[in-house]
């Protein structure tokens, strides 16, 4: 019986990454964290960068994490970028390529959670080259899941 949680997903005829974040990404051990509807999963190729918009609310703690198929390799970067001014608020490359980040929000803000897969692929190169009409279909594809969990910030002090 195959173990789907860590299996590579080279056969996309069945799941196509749907629900990958729920099935494969480890959730926080803190029982107060609840999964938000901003959690997502998608199919990626090497060299691809993609982002999703997430609303963060004042007075909440958040845990944003990601998981991925092994075929995509190591050194995957997660960034949290302020949607209003484009400033990078967090970069996992500066945090030893951590796959999770917990923080408290002091101002309600929309952000982008950006995932960057290192490497290169013909498909990723074609996105930046208007002269390329078609490329050979990628076979080295994998799922990436983003989990966004939140809880009410616990009071501090007496």
User: What per-residue confidence (pLDDT) applies to 37?
Assistant: 94
Residue 109's alpha-carbon distances to 43, 54, 78, 124, in angstroms, are 27, 9, 18, 30
Question: 74 and 47 in contact (C-beta within 8 Å)?
Answer: no
User: What per-residue confidence (pLDDT) applies to 13?
Assistant: 45
Determine the distance from the C-alpha atom of residue 53 to the mean position of all C-alpha atoms in its chain, rounded to a whole number. 11
Per-residue pLDDT of the chain in tens (158 residues, 90 and over written 9): 344 444 444 555 446 798 899 889 999 999 999 999 999 999 998 888 999 999 999 999 999 999 999 999 999 999 999 999 999 999 999 999 999 999 999 999 999 999 999 987 766 676 767 776 666 766 778 999 999 999 999 888 88
pTM, entire model: 0.81
Give the Cα separation of 144 and 115 in Å (integer).
9
Give the Cα separation of 49 and 78 in Å (integer).
10
Find, among 149, 146, 147, 145, the residue nearest to 15 by Cα.
145
């Amino acid at each position: 019986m195959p173990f789907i949680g860590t299996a590579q997903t080279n056969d996309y005829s069945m799941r196509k990454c749907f629900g990958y974040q729920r099935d494969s990404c480890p959730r926080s051990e803190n029982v107060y964290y609840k999964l938000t509807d901003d959690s997502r999963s998608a199919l990626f190729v090497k060299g691809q960068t993609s982002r999703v918009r997430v609303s963060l609310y004042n007075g909440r703690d958040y845990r944003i994490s990601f998981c991925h198929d092994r075929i995509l390799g190591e050194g995957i970067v997660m960034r949290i970028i302020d949607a209003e001014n484009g400033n990078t608020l967090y970069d996992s490359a500066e945090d030893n390529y951590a796959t999770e980040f917990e923080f408290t929000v002091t101002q309600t803000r929309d952000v982008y959670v950006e995932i960057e897969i290192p490497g290169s692929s013909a498909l990723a190169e074609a996105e930046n080259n208007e002269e390329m009409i078609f490329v050979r279909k990628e076979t080295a594809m994998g799922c990436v899941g983003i989990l966004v969990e939140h809880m009410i910030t616990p009071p501090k002090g007496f």
